[in-house]
Amino acid sequence: MQTVFEIDHPLVHHHLTHLRNKESTPHIFRSQVRRLAVLLAAEATRDLPLRSKTIETPLTEMEGTVLDVRIGLVPILRAGLGMTDAVLDLLPTAEVWHLGFYRDEHTLKPVGYYQKFSSHPPDIVFVLDPMLATGGSAVAGIQRVKDWGAKEIRMISIIAAPEGIASVREAHPNVKIYVCKIDAGLNDSAYIVPGLGDAGDRIFNTFV
């Protein structure tokens, strides 16, 4: 079963170039994150189940189709929030739940600090995080979603390092991963190269 999907589309290449550009201001960066999140979500939802629905158009009755699945979005705080509204534009009835992790700069390991889930998980959960670097937060986040009881989980990231993809595939081999681009790898500080810098800081303009 194919589990890693790298989106090859002219619009992805175009918007990703502007996203990476260090001269892009925070509002441009946020706009590019949204556009890329929409393109990723369209691909990641390609095979969602449908059911028939009879409707009235202005001219006649017809048999249409609507989604037949309960969908949850789980952005990994904080950068995942930058993708959430864009995905909600495509899936306006989706539930939004949250997971918070920060990276310990000494160990480079994820540290969980927040979780908000319901008592009953959705049918399909999309985990949102713009960057899949070491894979630490993704692996830990997906495990929490599994512990919640979700049966089908999909990871959506804008860029990824091969190391992060390998970590997720090893820990969660049945989770599908959707990315715009798989970059060359990680530097000594575990940042993706060529990458785009710190997505959270660029989204929220919190450089210090």
DSSP E strand boundaries for 57-160: 61-67, 71-77, 95-96, 98-103, 110-116, 124-128, 131-132, 152-160
Active site residue 8: no
Rounded Cα distance, 203 and 109, in Å: 22
Catalytic residue, candidates 34, 123, 169, 198: 198
Active site residue 107: yes
Tens digits of residue pLDDT in 61-114: 999 999 999 999 999 998 999 999 999 999 999 999 999 988 777 776 788 889
Catalytic residue, candidates 103, 123, 129, 183: 103
CB 131 within 8 A of CB 192: yes
Catalytic residue, candidates 54, 57, 93, 107: 107
- DSSP, res 151: S
Q: Which of 30-34, 99-103, 118-122, 144-148 has the lowest mean pLDDT?
A: 99-103
At residue 208, does pLDDT exceed 70?
A: no
**Yes or no: domain 4-49+63-204 corresponds to CATH 3.40.50.2020:** yes
Active site residue 54: no
Planar angle of CA 114, 119, 123, nearest 5 degrees: 100
- Is pLDDT larger for residue 188 or for residue 103? 188
Active site residue 144: no
CB 53 within 8 A of CB 64: yes
Q: Stretch 140-145: mean pLDDT, rounded? A: 95
- Structure tokens belonging to residue 196: 């785009």
